[in-house]
Amino acid sequence: MRKGLAEALNRYWAWLLLLFLVAPALIALPVSLTPKGFLSMPKGEYSLRHFDKLFTSEEWLSSFWQSAVIALATSALATALGTACAIGLWRVASRLGEAVRAFLLLPLVVPPIISAMAFYRLFVPMGLIDTYAGLILAHTVLASPLVLITVSTSLAGFDPRLEQASRSLGASQWTTMRRVILPSIRPGVLAGAIFAFIASWDEIVVTLFISKFSVYTLPRRMWNGIRENTDPTVAAAAVVLISITLIFFLAQSLIARRHRASASPGEA
């Protein structure tokens, strides 16, 4: 009985904590449905006018597509770099390699504002400020460590004898990589790609520093929307942003679950 009670309390606290964590994000949902022209909780009346504005306004739509392009390009680049790096470090497996790994994970540790200033100082003379290339590069630097982590985790569970088996059967290192190693670590690669997409999709600090007029991502437009007026379109944009992030996150957990299911032994 005691144990049952403790368990119930535990669960109760867990849900409360969860609510505490997600409530601020969820508040955007009712606010986005307000019929008023300023940020407010709707009272009895609901309206989709802010969503309507979001999807018809040229500015908001353009920001949406810009964010999407930058996030997709970042995801592709970071996945390629992070995966190559993880495989390289896995193969080397030395103390020096571990030092290199720690160094490569630094972008996760360095405060974003410091990274932002560094990118700014670096990009001004290179003419990369306010360009797609600049944003994609900066976001790639921030997102690659995430891929490095997820792919390294997959590689940790990879049986190195599979690689030896492939080579003993006559496959070159490259063929082995393509046909044996990559398929085995695919869940880690996909998870990394999704995390990289999300990281770029809602990145704001670095973006504020290195973009001005011509590149205007969704988080940037929301930031300005809140700063300059109290247009509830921002709340509608937040709902869309969160939804897309959630969709990608769910996709990732589905992939992970399917992989776990297929990794568990079936009946003979």
167 touching another protein, by CB under 8 A: yes
170 touching another protein, by CB under 8 A: yes
Between 103 and 174, CB nearer to another protein = 174
Nearest distance, CB of residue 265 and another protein, angstroms = 5
Between 48 and 169, CB nearer to another protein = 169
229 touching another protein, by CB under 8 A: no
226 touching another protein, by CB under 8 A: no
Nearest distance, CB of residue 185 and another protein, angstroms = 11
Cα–Cα distances in angstroms (integers) from residue 181 to residues 80, 122, 177, in the given order: 15, 37, 5
Identify the residue among 94, 175, 243, 253 touching another protein (CB under 8 A): 175
From 106-114, 139-147, 165-173, 191-199, give the range in contact with another protein by CB under 8 A: 165-173
Between 100 and 177, CB nearer to another protein = 177
Binding mask 130-159 for another protein (x = CB under 8 A): -----------------------------x
From 11-19, 21-29, 110-118, 175-183, give the range in contact with another protein by CB under 8 A: 175-183
